[in-house]
């Protein structure tokens, strides 16, 4: 078979600032983690101190054979108070980008990966009409300082996630109920705002939230393109393979519409859409169905189902009709042989999409390091590289070597056999 991977295919691993950097103290998420009644299992703290260890981390990723590194720039660091831009923090990200380029890694940069500055929450967060403009202004400042170094730009990470989480019963509080939920009520009290207006990015699934996110993505795209018309810009979506059991078709159709289809439709006209798939989500007559008895599950108790990636790439291609980059895909497990097998099936799925002529530009695994898995804390292990958080020592797992070698081989094959 002709090798389907194009020469400039991105083989990478991803991280997100808040999950790895540590001490993102001006962010809304840090604030939520420390509230009474918080739904976070533990605070992020020092994370894996990537903020200080980025040089060795990037060298390690490149040394494993990868050609790309996806990471995020933290709005809360760059603009810790509204309108105050920290040039020192922009310079930090400049060094991170330069280090990627020195090591031959194409930097895929996410401008917003779930976390926002705490002050944005005070101003109505992701349900406020003023947010798109504030976000675009931040993107403009980042581009003015760093734009020439960026390889691919992702505006918002998983703007559709709250609708998927809501179908599992997480977050999704209607504005009128927020005051009755301890974390929301405590946030409102500390911020001195009405609980109905507390709208963090990951947890609000209202119609206003949808409109604000689409507007923010468009405004950010324009701000980024104003500096670099040539730069590939898109957003990245949480694309579960939505399926149903008999009697669950109606619910599945509704979730597929709310979570996948309308966001893929809104992606039309972008340079690419980032696909982030972890498995399938199955709905029965009573809603989200648990994993069937006896099937292997991940650390969150969900079925291990790597075939989902191929299905969601095909769905994205059919609906958005633009190039696709797999910007996240991975498995939470303590058993790295399970992860390796998962990655193998997932990458085969990408190869089959490419062989069918679907324009997939990259495969970026989630995640480089075991890290802060949001409300679940540090228990889930998604990393291809283990980290001892007392010494901050990094140890690549077999899965990291396997995927890095795959990247190396494909690079070689495509260089000698451009077909």
Give dist(CA 367, CA 275) in Å, integer. 14
Task: Report 112-141 residues binding ligand BGC (CB under 6 A).
Answer: none
Q: How far is CA 397 from CA 58, 305, 334, in A?
A: 16, 21, 11
Give dist(CA 243, CA 283) in Å, integer. 6
Q: Which contacts qualify for 185-189: CB closer than 8 Å, 24 or more apart?
A: 185/37, 186/35, 186/36, 186/37, 186/38, 187/31, 187/32, 187/35, 187/121
158 is catalytic: yes
- Smallest separation, CB 18 to ligand BGC (Å): 8
Q: Does 157 bind ligand BGC (CB under 6 A)?
A: yes
Exactly one of 33, 158, 261, 328 is catalytic; name it. Answer: 158
Residue nearest to ligand BGC (CB): 16
Q: Is 180 in a helix, a strand, or coil?
A: helix
Give dist(CA 42, CA 96) in Å, integer. 28
Q: Does 369 bind ligand BGC (CB under 6 A)?
A: no
* Segment interacting with ligand BGC, rule: CB under 6 A, options 157-165, 241-249, 288-296, 333-341: 157-165
Q: Does 277 bind ligand BGC (CB under 6 A)?
A: no
Select the residue interacting with ligand BGC from 205, 276, 312, 329 (CB under 6 A): 276
Q: Using an 8 Å Cβ cutoff, are 374 and 202 in contact?
A: yes
Q: Is 284 in a helix, a strand, or coil?
A: strand
Task: Report 218-247 residues binding ligand BGC (CB under 6 A).
Answer: 238
* Segment interacting with ligand BGC, rule: CB under 6 A, options 74-82, 155-163, 310-318, 336-344: 155-163
Q: Does 370 bind ligand BGC (CB under 6 A)?
A: no
Give dist(CA 139, CA 132) in Å, integer. 10
Q: Does 385 bind ligand BGC (CB under 6 A)?
A: no
Q: Which helix (H) or strand (E) holds 287?
A: strand 287-288
Q: Does 21 bind ligand BGC (CB under 6 A)?
A: no
Q: Which residues of 218-253 are buried (b: 16+ CB within 10 A; e: fewer)?
A: bbbbebbeebeeebbbbbbbbbbbbbbeeebeebbe
Q: Using an 8 Å Cβ cutoff, are 250 and 259 in contact?
A: no
Q: Does 373 bind ligand BGC (CB under 6 A)?
A: yes
Q: Does 20 bind ligand BGC (CB under 6 A)?
A: no
- Smallest separation, CB 238 to ligand BGC (Å): 5
Select the residue interacting with ligand BGC from 272, 366, 369, 402 (CB under 6 A): 366
Closest to ligand BGC by CB, 49 or 411? 49
Select the residue interacting with ligand BGC from 74, 79, 89, 158 (CB under 6 A): 158
First-to-last CA distance in the chain? 11
Question: Residues in the site for ligand BGC, rule: CB under 6 A?
Answer: 16, 19, 157-158, 161, 238, 276, 328, 366, 373, 382
List, by residue number, the catalytic residues.
158
């Amino acid at each position: 078979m002709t090798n389907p991977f194009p020469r400039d295919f991105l083989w990478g691993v991803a991280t997100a600032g808040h999950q790895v950097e540590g001490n993102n103290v001006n962010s809304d998420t840090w604030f939520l983690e420390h509230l009474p009644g918080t739904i976070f299992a533990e605070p992020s703290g020092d994370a894996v101190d990537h903020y200080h260890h980025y040089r060795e981390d990037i060298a390690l990723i490149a040394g494993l054979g990868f050609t790309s590194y996806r990471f995020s720039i933290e709005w809360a660091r760059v603009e810790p108070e509204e309108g105050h831009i920290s040039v020192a923090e922009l310079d930090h990200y400049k060094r991170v980008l330069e280090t990627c380029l020195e090591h031959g890694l194409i930097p895929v940069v996410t401008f917003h990966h779930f976390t926002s500055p705490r002050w944005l929450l005070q101003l109505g967060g992701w349900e406020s009409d003023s947010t798109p403009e504030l976000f675009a202004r931040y993107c403009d400042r980042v581009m003015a300082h760093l734009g020439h170094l960026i390889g691919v730009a992702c505006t918002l990470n998983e703007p559709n996630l709250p609708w998927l989480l809501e179908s599992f019963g997480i977050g999704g509080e209607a504005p009128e109920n927020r005051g009755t939920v301890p974390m929301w009520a405590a946030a409102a009290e500390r911020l001195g705002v009405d609980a109905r207006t507390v709208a963090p990015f990951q947890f609000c699934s209202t119609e206003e939230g949808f409109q604000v996110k689409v507007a923010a993505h468009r405004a950010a795209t324009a701000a980024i393109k104003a500096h670099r018309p040539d730069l590939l810009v898109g957003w990245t979506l949480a694309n579960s393979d939505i399926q149903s059991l008999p009697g669950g078709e109606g619910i599945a159709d509704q979730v597929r519409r709310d979570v996948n289809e309308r966001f893929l439709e809104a992606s039309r006209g972008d340079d690419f859409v980032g696909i982030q798939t972890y498995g399938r989500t199955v709905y029965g007559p009573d809603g989200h169905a648990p994993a069937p008895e006896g099937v292997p599950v991940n650390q969150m108790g969900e079925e291990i189902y790597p075939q989902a990636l191929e299905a969601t790439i095909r769905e994205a291609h059919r609906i958005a009709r633009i190039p696709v980059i797999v910007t996240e895909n991975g498995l939470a497990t303590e058993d790295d042989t399970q992860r390796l097998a998962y990655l193998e099936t997932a990458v085969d799925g990408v190869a089959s999409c490419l062989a069918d002529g679907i324009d997939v530009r990259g495969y970026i695994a989630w995640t480089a390091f075991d890290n802060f898995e949001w409300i679940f804390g540090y228990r889930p292990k998604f990393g291809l590289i283990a980290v001892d958080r007392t010494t901050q020592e990094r140890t690549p797992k077999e899965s990291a070597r396997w995927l890095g070698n795959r990247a190396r081989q494909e690079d070689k094959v495509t260089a000698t056999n451009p077909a």
